Amino acid sequence: MRGFSSLSNLATKKPYNHIKFQRKTPPLTPTSSIDHQYIAQLLSSKDWFFLLNHEFSKPQLNSQFVVSIIHNQQNPSNSFKFYSWVSNINPSLSKNPSVLGVLAKTLYRKGPLVLSVELVNDIRKSGFQVSEELICVLIGSWGRLGLSKYCLEVFSQLSFLDLNPNTRLYNAVIDALVKSNSLDLAYLKFQQMSEENNCSPDRFTYNILIHGVCKIGLVDEALRLVKQMESVGFHPNVFTYTMLVDGFCNSNRVDEAFQVLETMKKRNVSPNEATIRSFVHGVFRSLVPGKAFELLFGYVKNGNFFSKLACDTILYCLTSNSMVKETAQFLREIRLKGYLPDSSTFNMAMVCLIKEDFDLNDSCEIFESFVDDGVKPGFNTYLALVEAMYRLGRFEKGNEFVESMFKDELVSNIYSYNMVIDCFCKAQMMVKALETFQDMKLRGIAPNLVTFNTLITGYCKVGDLRLAREHLVMLLELGFKPDIFTFTSIIDGLCGVNQIESAFDCLLEMIEWGVAPNSVTYNVLIRSLCVIGDPERSLRLMKKMKADGIRPDSFSFDAVIQCLCRVGKIVKAKNLFRSMLEMGVIPGIAVYSGFIHALCKAGKFDEAKEIFVSMEVNGCIPDSYTCNFILDSLVQHRQFDDALSIIKSFSRRVQFMY
């Protein structure tokens, strides 16, 4: 690039040597002053109870403080002891859901905590006892860790902890057994409740068992448990029905899942978020997507399942399955029912329509109708629409969407500006890209290296090396160091205007700046040499590429092999093709087409046919152009039998068009 302008001459000193990085100190939080290591030492000492009493008073304690200490103890026994102390100092705080939640997570993640005689005596010596609350949390952690036998062992010795079995403790152990996949043992404890300890199961007991059997697909057993639960006076609640819905869907019994929802409606039990999500995802999981949509769409249209969450979840499943026609149909229909998605759901649906090449006019109609209704589209939705418009040459409409983005203040930081500039550059709208760049600076938003790389790439693509150089100078003056993208873009631009030698100078200067070229950089140069018909120099560059530890890819080989075929060096092309396969690089269709053209031109039809047949073996399906070319060549040279055999072999392929 020395003919273009030396980077080293544009900056007397390399600006990146003067950059100073400052480490920002994070802001203090309410719990940032807690010395967890010191507290761990207190809890590990023999007199931990007295030390805690001395260190902390009741007014100091709050849920955030307790959660932080329990969470940050590496030894689960310390968390256990601290909770025991809190439960005696401030009993109401020990029942706080966030405190119990973090204790359960800590005992699970850092456990298992063995309830040894020493630990129990340590608690008792401090004047405490292992409370019912604490034993339930412990049993729950053992269940999640799969320690079903240990759960039963501790449960059988509750009397040594001065605890008597009751319904709550039975529920804890049954739940732990279900979670540890020991359903048979869970049923055994369920039977023992009333037989041995005169404890009556409650709704929680039945729901735990129903969850367990639904999880393994025994939905009929779940229905039996529901009947038994109702016979003893407990009505199913929303959690019961949600588990049944999930169980039926997992068993591919979607019709019965629908019936569960109907039952809920009759009994005035409103579905919650989990019910709706389980149902929609379950239907899509059980049925082919088209059938799932048909059933759910009918259910929504009839008003049986119309809610914002249901519509959001259906849209999520439709977009996840790239069902663009169904997504558009669903959006149109539910809009008439008054449905307004939130921004994230709407963005997801619109991006699906645009990216999957749905009719752009229809996409715009849907988009604008929801915007008129008050939906606020996000930045990515607008950008996808703009890119689609520019791609089809509808620049005026695309510009309207850009104006809306700025009007809604969606372009407000360096990242959004960079993406808009990139959109203009890809559409070769460099005047608009430069205007956006200037607007960004006027608003006090400093450009970064990505901004300059985007503009330099854009100018190089349109062949305007003067403006590319101007932005390169600006980049250096602002103290940025050119990176792989900067250099590769400039090399590509130089190659595009046939300044190959300047491109090679740029490659050398790139290395001087300590930026290692990658496969893309080399491929740009290899392709350019092939375009001017210099395969020998391309081969030498490939050797240098390998010597630098960069593995040539299909683009590297494709360009050189095609060039060798074009200049009639078929033997060299074959040798390179063989090397390509030995390296495990899969040839593209262009390589095969180049071979077939060259061989047919040389009258080597047997070899051309052999290459054609080998395409499928190597995982490359011939396209219609390649098929038609070899058939035309064979017919023109009266090779009718060979042409007929190819027709028979590929007549069933969609790609074949003759």
Q: Is the confidence at residue 657, as pLDDT, over 60?
A: no
* Structure token digits, residue 423: 């959109």
Min mean pLDDT across 28-42, 121-135, 283-297, 503-517 is at 28-42
Instruction: Assign 3-state DSSP to the chain and report helix, strand, coil percentages, each to 5.
Output: 70, 0, 30
| Residue corresponding to tokens 């630098």 | 548
The confidence score (pLDDT) of residue 586 equals: 80
* Structure token digits, residue 503: 């491109």
In contact, 440 and 476? CB cutoff 8 Å: no
* Structure token digits, residue 583: 């390296």
Q: Is the confidence at residue 485, as pLDDT, over 90?
A: yes
Q: Is the confidence at residue 597, as pLDDT, over 80?
A: no
> pLDDT above 70 covers what percent of the chain?
88
| E strands present in 53-105 | none
Q: Is the confidence at residue 31, as pLDDT, over 70?
A: no
Return the closest-CA partner of residue 643 out of 653, 654, 658. 658
What mean pLDDT do residues 572-599 have? Answer: 81
pLDDT digits (tens, 9 = 90+) for 518-553: 999 999 999 999 888 888 999 999 999 989 889 988
In contact, 612 and 646? CB cutoff 8 Å: yes
What mean pLDDT do residues 222-232 have? Answer: 92
Q: Is the confidence at residue 446, as pLDDT, over 80?
A: yes
What mean pLDDT do residues 344-367 have? Answer: 87
What mean pLDDT do residues 76-80 have? Answer: 90
What mean pLDDT do residues 651-658 have? Answer: 46
Q: Is the confidence at residue 449, as pLDDT, over 90?
A: yes
* Structure token digits, residue 122: 């340590």
What is the CA 464 to chain-centroid distance, rounded?
38
Q: With cut-offs at 50, 70 and 90, classify the pLDDT of residue 641.
A: low
The confidence score (pLDDT) of residue 92 equals: 85
What mean pLDDT do residues 206-233 have? Answer: 92
What is the DSSP annotation of 511-530?
HHTT----HHHHHHHHHHHH
Q: With cut-offs at 50, 70 and 90, classify the pLDDT of residue 637.
A: low
CB atoms within 10 A of CB 135: 20
* Structure token digits, residue 409: 């203040």
Q: Is the confidence at residue 84, as pLDDT, over 60?
A: yes
Q: With cut-offs at 50, 70 and 90, classify the pLDDT of residue 627.
A: confident
Q: Is the confidence at residue 73, as pLDDT, over 70?
A: yes
What mean pLDDT do residues 39-64 have? Answer: 82
* Mean pLDDT for all residues in the chain: 84
Whether the upstream peptide bond of residue 112 has omega within 30° of 0, thus cis, is yes
Q: Is the confidence at residue 117, as pLDDT, over 60?
A: yes
Q: According to the per-residue pLDDT averaged within each range, which of 122-131, 304-313, 477-486 is highest?
A: 477-486
What mean pLDDT do residues 139-155 have? Answer: 92
Q: Is the confidence at residue 598, as pLDDT, over 80?
A: no
Q: With cut-offs at 50, 70 and 90, classify the pLDDT of residue 309.
A: confident
In contact, 460 and 502? CB cutoff 8 Å: no
Q: With cut-offs at 50, 70 and 90, classify the pLDDT of residue 646.
A: low
Q: Is the confidence at residue 14, as pLDDT, over 80?
A: no
Return the closest-CA partner of residue 432 out of 423, 445, 441. 423
| Comparison of pLDDT for 1 and 446, the residue scoring more | 446
The confidence score (pLDDT) of residue 199 equals: 85
The confidence score (pLDDT) of residue 398 equals: 92
In contact, 586 and 618? CB cutoff 8 Å: yes
Q: Give the number of C-alpha atoms closer than 13 A to the C-alpha of residue 280, restricted to the C-beta side.
A: 27
The confidence score (pLDDT) of residue 611 equals: 74
Q: With cut-offs at 50, 70 and 90, classify the pLDDT of residue 193.
A: confident
What mean pLDDT do residues 30-43 have? Answer: 75
Q: Give the number of C-alpha atoms closer than 13 A to the C-alpha of residue 312, restricted to the C-beta side.
A: 13
In contact, 236 and 245? CB cutoff 8 Å: no
In this structure, the chain runs to a length of: 658
Q: With cut-offs at 50, 70 and 90, classify the pLDDT of residue 12.
A: very low
Q: Is the confidence at residue 438, as pLDDT, over 80?
A: yes
Cα angle: 521, vertex 526, 531; to 5 degrees: 130
